[in-house]
Structure 1
Amino acid sequence: MERVLKEWFGLDTFRPKQKEIITSILEGQNTLGILPTGSGKSLCYQIPALVLEGTTIVISPLISLMQDQVEALLENNIEAAFINSNMTVKNQEIVERRLRNGELKILYVAPERFNNLTFLNILDQIEVPLVAFDEAHCISKWGHDFRPSYQAVIPIIEKKLPNADYIALTATATEDVEANIVELLSIDKDNIFKTSVKRDNLKLSVDPTFQREQFILKYIAEKKDAPGIIYVSTRKDAEKLGGFLIDNDIDNVIYHAGLKKSERKSNQNAFVSGQKNIIVATNAFGMGIDKRDIRFIIHYNLPGDIESYYQEIGRAGRDGKLSECILLSNSRDVMLQQFFIDRSNATDEQKENMRTKLERIIQYNKTTKCLSSFIIKYFNPDEYVENCGMCSNCMREDKTIDITEESKHIIGLLNTISLPVEKTIQVLRGEQAENIIHTELPEHPYFGKLSKYQPSDVHHIIDELVMSGYLHLSNDMLSVPEQGNEILDGHTEIHSVPFRRQFKELVNVSTDTSFNETLYQALVEKRRELAEEKGVDEESIFTDVSLREFAKKMPTTKKDMMHITGMGNYKLKHYSPHFMEIIESYQSTRKEENVSFY
């Protein structure tokens, strides 16, 4: 395997799980690989294709993805081709002839190709040792991008290619999706290989701003010449935002399915080649692009699910350098995604699944917990996680506040009556709304108990209680599970990081003066130097709170460093040595100053 890796691809070592997946395939096992975007999934079937006799068939969802993959293989002198409905009949016949003659090692097709009688007849005449399902989440009805045609090819392949093995590859598989793929492709649990979805070099941020255009202008101005993608939900938004940036002297190209094929290709090439640094695009863009130095990805709108979001931010920082992924959103985005779901041709069961996924990305947008940990737990609830130390939530400097009393009022109300979320908020705030005043709710003992809070304040507390398991939410109706009474009975306290733009009047941020000012200033200067060298914001390296802790605790080992606020694995590896050096130098100087002679 190593020889093939070096000879054909010029690489010396495999990435995590690649070798295990390839070994499983070469041993004749149906195999599932769940690997992050940019982790080299394609090699997992390309190397077996070069080792095995015959032609490997790759089922791919996008024509553009097929083209990019084939071009890359041809550059490595690997006999590969694709065939799709956009090709002329003559060009299709050329590929079919090469396939029939055994000249191809790898052929990319869309699942619909298995409905073509000519293609099926050729399969009877050739040797196909392996069928690869790229973007395998499309097989599962529980996947975020389920395609019935993907699932429909399985019985055809079983009949036409009974001796072929399967390899399924995806970056986005929840437990339900994984189980569905395994069942459909008859994959043994011992042949499932996956790595953590964690990406240590991606700094995640959520900013529910209502001034998105101004945010983007300011951000790009601070990131001069940094390549970046701005994702939008609609073609209209792509055109509008792209034009807005041009009007503000920010050169960019746009990409969406409504553009002519030649224009899409030209705009993609301009971005990938570095001719243009900014591309404003719908989710039609990005699959399979080979650009390793994308420094930021901004989502102008809330995506429909975490799977799509994770797949799209996975295109940033493939060179291993620090990159930023920023989610902007407002309430309009939720309504837009609900509109997409209602208008889709999905079954009622699938639509309900889509709504559940939308709710999870909304929770991600609102959570005050570590954003990286949230995503990791979404895909693998059993994985042990630590806070990343650099996402927008981990870097908050606000003190934790006690929301136990507020929580008691909410649970006390819902213990007596089950209400929708919005009506719960209205009652607790004592609102004189039409749907309230003509009922008995104004007489309820909890009516107006949270009158001093904004609706969004109460909503955020409810979200915190739901996510922590102290409230149950189903079909927008709130109820209290047994665990919720632990708060009401005084057995449990609830503390939370202050929610964005809320609770600021409740927070008294004290300043800690018990640290060494001289050392602190030296650390601040080192942070400035590193930020300038790496082209990042100073606060993304360490916050002032972290530097004060350095100056107070003076950690000199990595073990000590892990106890510093905001310290994650990436910062521990890449930044902490610089600051330990400053601390050790300071301590050494102090020792010399304190030497006395008798």
Structure 2
Amino acid sequence: MRNILKQYFGFDNFRPKQEAIINSVISGKNTLGILPTGSGKSVCFQVPGIKFSGTTLVISPLISLMRDQVEALNRQGIPAAYLNSTLKKKEIDMLMKHLEAGEYDFLYVAPERFNSEEFTELIKRLDVPMVAFDEAHCISKWGHDFRPSYQSIIPELRALLPNAITVGLTATATLEVQENIQELLNIENEDVHKTSVARDNLHLHVNGTYQREQYILSHIQDNPDSSGIVYAATRAEVEKISLYLENNDIENVIYHGGLGKEERNRNQRKFVSDDVNIVVATNAFGMGIDKPDIRFIIHHNMPGDIESYYQEIGRAGRDGQISECILLSSPRDVNLHQFFIDRSNSTDQYKDHMRVKLDRMIQYNRTSKCLRSFITKYFDPDEYVEACGSCSNCLNPGRTYDMTEEAETVAALIRTCEIPLTREQSIQILRGEMSEDVTNHSLEEMDTFGRMDNYLTGEISHVLEELILRGYIHQYEDLLYTVDKSEQLLDSETPVMTVPFRKYFNEKVNISTASSPNEVLFRKLVETRAELADKFNIEEGGIFTDMTLREFARKVPASKQEMVQIQGVGSYKLKHYCPKFLETIRAHKESVAVAK
């Protein structure tokens, strides 16, 4: 494999996880690779595709992406072609003849191509050892860029090519999306290979300025030789920002779906070839743009989900150099996304899902915690993270509150407890609450029980979140653990500063922690969700996320009217799923009453 890598791609060594993915494919296993943008995903199917005899079929979402990859392969002496709507009938006929003659190692097609009977008949006659799904998140209905055509061709591919190996590559897959892709492509857990989404060279910033256009202008003026993308939510805003920059002597090009194809291509070429440094665009611009030296990406508007934001900022700094990723926003952005969700033709279930994603994007925009850690935990809640030290929150001069004493108390609790604790149990112990989750394990006997009884639930939650996102505590499968870095807290070696968050200080806070879920009830709700998933033959996450179930356990709703007030509950779920959850909650409350 290394010989192929060197001969055709000019690299001496594989990047992280590339070799593991390639070896998995070579051994005949369906495989999923989740690697950050710019980390060489294409190599993961191109290297085995060169080794295999026959023609590897690559399912690709964009014509421009196909063209760029095919041209790159041809320049490296690798015979490749694409088949899409830009080709004329004569060109398609000639291409098919060459394919039947076995002259191509790779054929790139859009999923819509399978609507052609002529094409499917051709596929039957070809030797196809492997099918590669580029941008595999498009397969999952829970992905941020779901394309039904991507998913619908999977049964047809299995029928046409029953012996072909399948490999999927993507940069943006939450655990929910990952599991959905695995199910659809028949990929085992051990054949999933991924690296952290964290990229050290991307410095993340959130800026709440109301003078967004002026901020963009100033940033460009302060970095006159830097290449950058300014993203805006609508075509009108793209043109407005572009005109503002032009009026201030900043040369730029625009890119959005309202432009003619020729103008879009021309503007893209100008940017990629460094004829112009700045492009102002909607999210239509970017996928497949292989420009390594983009030094900054500014979002004039907040995207609707973290996956979209991560994919867009991932186009910066592919050369490994420091690049700035700046998020600007206004309250209107939230209203706009809510409007788009409400007016979409999607099912109520999918709309609920998008509202949850929007909530997480809003949290990113408002959090005072490390931004890189926030994004990393979003994609993999079980990954160990440490504060980046370079984002706008880590560098915030407003971190004036010394929480060293609170941090040491939390670390001592987690270190000395004989069982792993959830975040909610930890809060209940520290606040001195005699809840089921505490008394069932005799946790009220711990020395740290009630040590922070003058803190609100949200205040202790703030401390815990800070410690997790800064690497002092590790959260894995909802349980908390101390790590080597925890010793710094226990030995009082390092002061831990945060933004001011206390509301109550000396007096004891007797407010019951309404935001701390009952773990016993939560587990029952999880079981109910599994039963419903089996009944309706859908993924558990498509019913309710763990976050929503924890809200049920916190608030213990007794009616549909109370349940619909909880984030993540829409009209579809209220009708089809909530009655069963209400039964579980009622049964739990009755069992608790009997026990008392």
Compute the TM-score of the two structures, normalised by the length of structure 1: 0.69
Partner of 2:518: none
Shift of 1:342: 2.3
Question: Taking structure 1 as reference, are residues 324 and 481 closer, same or farther at Cα in structure 2, changes over 3 Å only?
Answer: farther
**1:470 and 1:481 in contact (8 A); partners too:** no
**1:143–1:16 distance in 2 versus 1, CA, 3 Å:** same
Identity %: 58
Does 1:201 find its partner at 2:201?
yes
1:36: Cα distance to partner?
0.2
1:476-555 maps to which residues of 2 (within 5 A)?
489-490=453-454, 494=459
Of 351-360 and 82-91, deviating more is 82-91
Q: CA deviation at 1:401?
A: 4.3
1:187 matched residue in structure 2? 187
* TM-fit CA distance, 1:197: 0.5
Aligned-partner Cα distance in 1 for 2:226–2:495: 30
Could you say what secondary structure the match of 2:280 adopts?
A: strand
Distance apart, 1:288 and its partner CA? 1.2
Pairwise CA distance, 1:291: 0.8
Distance (Å, rounded) in 2 between the aligned partners of 1:89 and 1:346: 36
Match of 2:356 in 1: 356
Aligned-residue offset at 1:163? 0.7
Quote the Cα distance in structure 1 between the aligned partners of 2:83 and 2:272: 24
Q: 1:336 to 1:118 in 2, by over 3 A?
A: same
Which residue number corresponds to residue 371 of structure 1?
Answer: 371
One-letter identity of the residue aligned with 1:174: T
Report the more deviating stretch, 156-165 or 78-87: 78-87
Residue 233 of structure 1 corresponds to: 233
Q: Is the alpha carbon distance of 1:161 and 1:375 closer, same or farther for their aligned partners in structure 2, counting shifts above 3 Å?
A: same
Shift of 1:2: 0.7
CA contact (8 A) 1:368 1:497 kept: no
Q: Is residue 173 of structure 2 the alignment partner of residue 173 of structure 1?
A: yes
SS at match of 2:125: coil
Deviation at 1:152, TM superposition (A): 0.5
CA displacement at 1:486 relative to structure 2: 7.9
| Structure 2 counterpart of 1:421 | none
1:66 CA displacement: 0.8
Question: C-alpha displacement at 1:85, in angstroms?
Answer: 2.1
Q: Please say which of residues 258-267 and 341-350 is displaced more in the overlay.
A: 341-350
Change (3 A) 1:313 1:123: same
Are the structure 2 counterparts of residues 67 and 294 from structure 1 closer, same or farther at C-alpha, using a change threshold of 3 Å? same
Instruction: For residue 28 of structure 1, report the CA deviation from its aligned partner.
Output: 0.4
Structure 1 CA distance, aligned partners of 2:455 and 2:338?
39
* Contact 1:294 1:317 (C-alpha < 8 Å) held by counterparts: yes
CA distance in 2, matches of 1:58, 1:207: 40
Q: How far 1:285 sits from its partner (Å)?
A: 0.8
Deviations 1:275-309 (A, max 9, x none): 10000011111111111111000001000100010
Q: Distance between the aligned counterparts of 1:154 and 1:496, measured in 2?
A: 44
Shift, 1:338, TM fit: 1.4
One-letter amino acid of the structure 1 residue matched with residue 135 of structure 2: E
Q: Structure 1 residue 344: deviation in Å?
A: 2.5
Could you tell me how far apart the structure 2 residues matched to 1:263 and 1:245 are?
A: 19
Q: CA deviation at 1:75?
A: 1.1
The corresponding residue for 2:65 is 65
Partner residue in 1 for 2:338: 338
Give the whole-Å Cα distance in 2 for the aligned partners of 1:73 and 1:131. 17
Write the distance in 2 (CA, Å) between the matches of 1:490 and 1:321: 47
Q: Partner of 1:92 in structure 2?
A: 92
Q: Matches of residues 135-534 of structure 1 in structure 2 within 5 Å?
A: 135-401=135-401, 489-490=453-454, 494=459
1:126-141 equivalent positions in 2, closer than 5 A: 126-141=126-141
**Partner Cα separation in structure 1 for residue 176 and residue 268 of structure 2:** 34
Letter of the structure 1 residue corresponding to residue 250 of structure 2: I
Cross-structure match for 2:564: none
Instruction: Give CA-to-partner distance per residue, 1:551-588, whole Å, 9 cap, x none.
Output: xxxxxxxxxxx96989xxxxxxxxxxxxxxxxxxxxxx
Whether contact under 8 Å (1:198, 1:372) holds in the other structure is yes
Q: Is the 8 A contact 2:304 2:358 kept in 1?
A: yes
**2:402/2:495 contact within 8 Å kept:** no
Alignment partner, residue 25 of structure 2:
25
Instruction: Tell me the CA shift for residue 331 of structure 1.
Output: 0.6
Shift of 1:63: 1.0
Give structure 1 stretches of 5+ with no counterpart. 404-465, 472-479, 499-561, 567-598
TM-score between the two structures when normalised by the length of structure 2 = 0.69
> Does the CA contact (< 8 Å) of 1:302 and 1:327 recur in 2?
yes
Q: Tell me the equivalent position of 2:407.
A: none
Aligned counterparts of 1:30 and 1:565: Cα–Cα separation in 2: 46
Deviation at 1:93, TM superposition (A): 1.9
- Identify if the C-alpha distance between structure 1 residues 61 and 303 changes in structure 2 by more than 3 Å, giving closer, same or farther: same
Contact 2:305 2:358 (8 Å CA) reproduced: yes
Amino acid at match of 2:158: E
| 2:11 counterpart of 1:47 | no
Equivalent position amino acid for 2:60 in 1:
S
How far apart are the structure 2 equivalents of 1:468 and 1:234?
45
The whole-number CA distance in structure 2 between the counterparts of 1:303 and 1:487 is 41
Counterpart of 2:118?
Answer: 118
Partner of 1:506: none
**2:6 pairs with 1:2:** no
Deviations 1:382-428 (A, max 9, x none): 0110000010000011244499xxxxxxxxxxxxxxxxxxxxxxxxx
Contact 2:36 2:171 in 1 (8 A): yes
Native 8 Å contact 1:33 1:170 kept in 2: yes
SS in 2 for 1:224: coil
Find the residue that maps to 1:42 and give its secondary structure. helix
Match of 1:548 in 2: none
Q: CA, structure 1 residues 51+247, in 2 after alignment: closer, same or farther (shift >3 Å)? A: same
Aligned to 1:424: none
| Structure 2: gaps (5+ residues) | 404-422, 429-434, 439-448, 464-492, 498-596
CA distance in 2, matches of 1:42, 1:265: 23
| 1:243 CA displacement | 1.1
Contact (CA 8 Å) 1:401, 1:497: kept in 2 or not?
no
Aligned residue identity for 2:454: G
Alignment check: 8 A CA contact 1:78 1:105 kept: yes
Count of matched residue pairs: 432
Q: Does the aligned pair in 1 maintain the 2:425–2:437 contact within 8 Å? A: no
Deviates more, 1:77-86 or 1:213-222: 77-86
Seen in structure 2, the aligned counterparts of structure 1 residues 343 and 92 have a Cα distance that, compared at 3 Å, is farther
Mapped contact 1:136–1:181 kept (Cα < 8 A): yes
- In 1, the alpha carbon distance for the partners of 2:376 and 2:334 equals 23
The CA deviation at 1:491 is 5.5
Q: Aligned partners of 1:119 and 1:54: how far apart in 2?
A: 17
Cα deviation for residue 209 of structure 1 reads 1.6
Amino acid at match of 2:302: L
**Separation in structure 1 between the aligned mates of residue 461 and residue 353 of structure 2, nearest angstrom:** 30
Q: For residues 70 and 468 of structure 1, do their structure 2 counterparts lie closer, same or farther at Cα, with a shift above 3 Å needed?
A: farther
Residues 125-155 of structure 1: CA deviation (Å, up to 9, x unaligned): 1100000011111111111111111110110
Structure 1: how far apart are the matches of 2:436 and 2:135? Answer: 39
CA shift, 1:86, in A, is 3.1
Q: 1:272 to 1:469 in 2, by over 3 A?
A: farther
> Partner amino acid for 2:387?
N
Contact in 2 for aligned 1:401/1:495 (Cα 8 Å): no
The secondary structure found in structure 1 opposite 2:41 is coil
Deviation (angstroms), 1:159: 0.3
Larger radius of gyration: 1
Query: 1-side partners of 2:461 and 2:278: how far apart?
Result: 37
